[in-house]
């Protein structure tokens, strides 16, 4: 066994946390190539329904690329090729004829840098709704208010819904992006380092929001902040870079990963000696 073999749950029965719940999204031997470059390979990982999964690891180990497979954003990259299996219940997420519009409505995504559209606050939320067929003003109003309340932005912006979203602060913008994803009532949320461009206070607010989502949404969050992973996640996946792209080296309950890591690299990583 090489140092980079995956320590999976089956090999370590003590990490049985995620097995209690039916796994919702399951990746089996998933690999992603950009032309000849390997982003990550042979990743097998399940996202439990209603749970928060943190994906940690050094830069360039394929964490973000993994997230992009889950909502098929890889389709936008001309040379990207995904192999392996990726399913959500009976749904084959890698099927070439998959309805990506429907998938992306059910799987929301938050990126590292807040990216509200250069529209008014209202339009940022109303535009995705209209695109997905919700054009009635009353329903839009109700959904938008609900989403903004959920991210704690309603009281801050309710009097200026018509002003530009770009005038909001960075933290507010990120919460608006979260609201923009939530307004479509997704089941899954993918977050790619959602706090790393924010100040500590805004960062904490977003973190609290993520914590509040446990049980209601399935969350996968990529983070460089180990303390954050520890605070938030039910399950933690550790990715590592190998010469041939990223690999999943260890997967387990967050307590197990931080208190009793199995893989030598994980041990060094969580102690702050590596990565």
Partner 1 sequence: MQTPSSKPGLDWAAIAIWTIATLITATFCCILLDILWHGLGQLSWEFLTTAPANAGRDGGINSILVSTGLILLVCLSVSIPLGVGTAIFLAEFARGNPQFSRWVRRSLDILAGVPSIVFGLFGYAFFVQRLGLGFSILSGGLTLACMVLPILIRAAEEGFRAVPDGYRLGAASLGLSRWGTLQQVLLPSAMPGLVVGLVLGIGRAMAETAALIFTSGYVDRMPGSVWDSGRSLSIHIFDLSMNVPGGEQQAYGSALVLILLLIVINSFASWVAQRYQLGL
118 binds partner 1 (CB under 8 A): yes
Spell out, one character per residue from 188 to 207, where the chain touches partner 1: x when CB under 8 A holds, - when not.
--x-----------------
Q: Whole-number minimum distance, CB 45 to partner 1, in Å?
A: 20
Task: Rule CB under 8 A: choose which of 52, 151, 153, 184 binds partner 1.
Answer: 184
181 binds partner 1 (CB under 8 A): yes
Toward partner 1, which CB reaches closer, 4 or 111?
111
| Listed ranges 10-18, 34-42, 84-92, 173-181: which one lies at the site for partner 1 (CB under 8 A) | 173-181
62 binds partner 1 (CB under 8 A): no
> Which two structure tokens, joined as six digits, stand for 187?
């089941």
Where along the sequence are the contacts to partner 1 (CB under 8 A)? 71, 73, 76, 78, 100-105, 108-109, 111, 113, 115, 117-120, 123, 127-128, 131-132, 162-166, 177, 180-181, 184, 190
């Amino acid at each position: 066994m090489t140092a980079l073999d995956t320590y999976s749950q089956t090999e370590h029965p003590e990490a049985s946390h995620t097995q209690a719940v039916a796994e919702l999204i399951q990746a089996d031997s998933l690999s992603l190539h950009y032309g000849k470059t390997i982003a990550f390979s042979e990743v097998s990982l399940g996202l439990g329904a209603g749970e928060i999964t943190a994906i940690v690891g050094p830069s360039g180990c394929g964490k973000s690329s993994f997230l992009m497979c889950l909502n098929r954003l890889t389709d936008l990259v001309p040379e990207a090729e995904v192999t392996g299996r990726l399913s959500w219940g009976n749904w084959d997420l890698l099927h070439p004829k998959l309805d990506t519009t429907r998938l992306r409505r059910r799987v929301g995504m938050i990126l590292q840098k807040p990216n509200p559209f250069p529209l008014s606050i209202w339009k940022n939320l109303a535009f995705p709704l209209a695109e997905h067929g919700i054009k009635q003003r009353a329903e839009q109003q109700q959904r938008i208010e609900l989403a903004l309340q959920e991210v704690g932005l309603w009281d801050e912006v309710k009097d200026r819904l018509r002003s530009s979203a770009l005038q909001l602060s960075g933290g507010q913008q990120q919460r608006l992006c979260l609201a923009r994803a939530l307004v479509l009532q997704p089941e899954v949320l993918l977050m790619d380092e959602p706090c790393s461009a924010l100040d500590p206070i805004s960062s904490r607010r977003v973190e609290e929001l993520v914590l509040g989502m446990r049980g209601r949404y399935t969350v996968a969050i990529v983070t460089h902040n180990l303390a954050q992973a520890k605070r938030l996640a039910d399950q933690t996946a550790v990715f590592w870079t190998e010469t041939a792209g990223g690999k999943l080296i260890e997967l387990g309950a967050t307590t197990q990963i931080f208190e009793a890591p199995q893989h030598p690299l994980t041990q060094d990583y969580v102690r702050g000696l590596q990565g």
